[in-house]
Amino acid sequence: MIAVLDFGGQYTHLIARRLRDLHVPVRLYPHDTPASALKDVDGIVFSGGPSSVYAPNAPKPDSAVFDLGKPILGLCYGHQFIANHFGGKVERATREYGERELAVVKKEGVLAGVQSKEKVWYSHGDSVLALPSGFETLAKSGDSFAAYAYVQTGKRIYGLQFHPEVHHTPCGNQVLENFAFIICKVKKTKDTFSKMAMVEQSRTRVGPQNVVIGVSGGVDSTVAAFLLRDAFAKQLFPIYVDTGLMRQNETEEIKAFYSDFPNFVFVDASKEFLTALKGVSEPEQKRKIIGHLFIEVFEKAAQSVPNVGYLAQGTIFSDRVESAATGGKATSKIKSHHNLTLPEKMKWQVLEPLAELYKDEVRALGKQLGVPDAILKRHPFPGPGLAINIVGEVTPDRLKAVRQADFIFIEELRKAGWYDKMFEAFAAILPCRTVGVKGDERSYEYPIVLRAVESKDVMTADWVRLPPELLQTVASRILGEVEGVNRVFYDISQKPPATIRYE
């Protein structure tokens, strides 16, 4: 088994997930787990984290871990900590985010079988600028040491500045396989998530009580609803709350889709949400207003449902890790998720059957459950809806503009055959206004930003290289059909350092 020590990195759970995909038995531990609790593992991974190793309160493992004789792999912060611990030099240097080229010096150890030049994914501000005595260079990136090995005096220690666990490091699986199977000599396991096991687990936990679940037509809530319907169809009450922040034609489509669920409940609360958001510009405040109001409306709608014991949600792991709610040490919160802003006095228990799965795993589970491709292949759409596609205040005019622009963008992507080739695409509207010309007259209107990304698990993302002709078609339609808009931009930022959405 591989032990992953959590130093607070956003990708910590993803390390375990990647190893699990390779059929490696794996378990997450707090970073300060006593060495005595790790004496029976086959290898240890130090995760990344937001701290600097030279900070006064930098997280540290039990130093006795290095005396266990177990293979150790440090990633990002873990890489820096090991180098610093043994006397190397770690300093703030040129920040590296997103895709970079790795220059491999020695194709051995964890880098056995990789190419001399590899595209890898970085997310760091500190770098290892000098190695400790006895350490050898495996790869470099600029002036920093991107990979090293220490294999003297019975120790097998490796460090990587890049993230092999993310989808955007093509050689990542090779690196992790080298560590797990060649260096640690782990035996493969058949363990993976099972539809039947998840159904039975939900059924056992809930017992005779009824369950309400918020559904939006998105992949996550739909798969969760299908899973729970398999577990207890007559006890499940899907409730769709129209917040007024949905995409064009979405409410009608969702009502039609859930007509086959016997206990489907529809609530039109659009006026309540738009009133509550009036004058609010700060993104965290918008998310919390939407989240709390959603639960209030939900509670009211569920009053007619007898014997309710659980509120089910389609929360997946990337939602939780960005909200620093993984149960580990991930303390650097990126944003509040609408599923995680529940009132303290809520009278139901929370049921999150998908909480340990990533988006691609959710889609695979949905396939097993018979969820239609029209839903499974649909791009993600966050619970706060178009409110987080509007940077700044949500007004009726700006909401109408971003809804129309988003519809045009998606429609043209479908026509051109690009929609199914990417992870997510949407339009956002910015809070500034710019000068333009319309009909020989001066205009002073808002810009629209188009965003299209490819990603496997939401933890990293790269922008989609759409044809200029397609972007021109989309921009021309938006500028001609959407009132209040006079510019269109295309976002080419990667995640990290950007996030996929704007708020």
Give the whole-angstrom CA distance, residue 129 versus residue 144: 5
pLDDT in tens, 61-90: 999 999 999 999 999 899 999 999 999 988
Q: Which of 13, 31, 124, 165 is catalytic?
A: 165
**Is the predicted pLDDT of residue 57 greater than 80, yes or no?**
yes
Cβ proximity of 474 and 442 under 8 Å: no
Q: What's the whole-number mean pLDDT along residues 105-109?
A: 90
Cβ proximity of 61 and 29 under 8 Å: no
3-state secondary structure of 134: coil
| Encoded tokens for 199 | 């159904």
pLDDT in tens, 269-290: 999 999 999 999 999 999 999 9
Q: What is the DSSP letter of 259?
A: G
pLDDT in tens, 168-181: 888 989 999 999 99
Identify whether 23 is a catalytic site residue. no
In sign, the C-alpha dihedral spanning 309, 311, 316, 321 is negative
3-state secondary structure of 62: coil
Instruction: Name the band, by pLDDT with cuts 50, 70 and 90, for residue 120.
Output: confident
The pLDDT of residue 330: 44
Cβ proximity of 240 and 216 under 8 Å: yes
Instruction: Name the band, by pLDDT with cuts 50, 70 and 90, for residue 151.
Output: confident
Instruction: Give the Cβ contact number of residue 116 at 10 Å.
Output: 10
Q: Which of 13, 76, 184, 379 is catalytic?
A: 76
| Encoded tokens for 398 | 């700006």
- CA 58 to each of CA 6, 12, 161: distance values in angstroms, whole numbers, following the listed order: 13, 17, 17
Q: Which of 13, 31, 79, 163 is catalytic?
A: 163
Give the whole-angstrom CA distance, residue 142 versus residue 136: 17
Instruction: Name the band, by pLDDT with cuts 50, 70 and 90, for residue 192.
Output: low
Q: Which residue reads 């020989």 in tokens?
A: 440
The pLDDT of residue 197: 78
Residues in the chain: 503
| Best mean pLDDT range from 29-33, 204-208, 257-261, 428-432 | 428-432
Q: What's the whole-number mean pLDDT along residues 219-234?
A: 91
The pLDDT of residue 442: 82
Q: What residue ranges define each of the domains in the chain, with the CATH number in brackets?
A: 2-183 (3.40.50.880), 195-376 (3.40.50.620), 390-490 (3.30.300.10)
Instruction: Report phi then psi at 59, rounded to 5.
Output: -65, 140
Mean pLDDT of the chain: 87
**Is the predicted pLDDT of residue 187 greater than 70, yes or no?**
yes
| Encoded tokens for 499 | 């996030």
**Is the predicted pLDDT of residue 461 greater than 50, yes or no?**
yes
The pLDDT of residue 336: 46
Cβ proximity of 162 and 336 under 8 Å: no
The pLDDT of residue 326: 42
Instruction: Name the band, by pLDDT with cuts 50, 70 and 90, for residue 91.
Output: confident
3-state secondary structure of 126: strand
Cβ proximity of 489 and 447 under 8 Å: yes
**Is the predicted pLDDT of residue 135 greater than 60, yes or no?**
yes
Greater pLDDT, 402 or 151: 402
Identify whether 163 is a catalytic site residue. yes
Identify whether 76 is a catalytic site residue. yes
Q: What's the whole-number mean pLDDT along residues 245-250?
A: 92
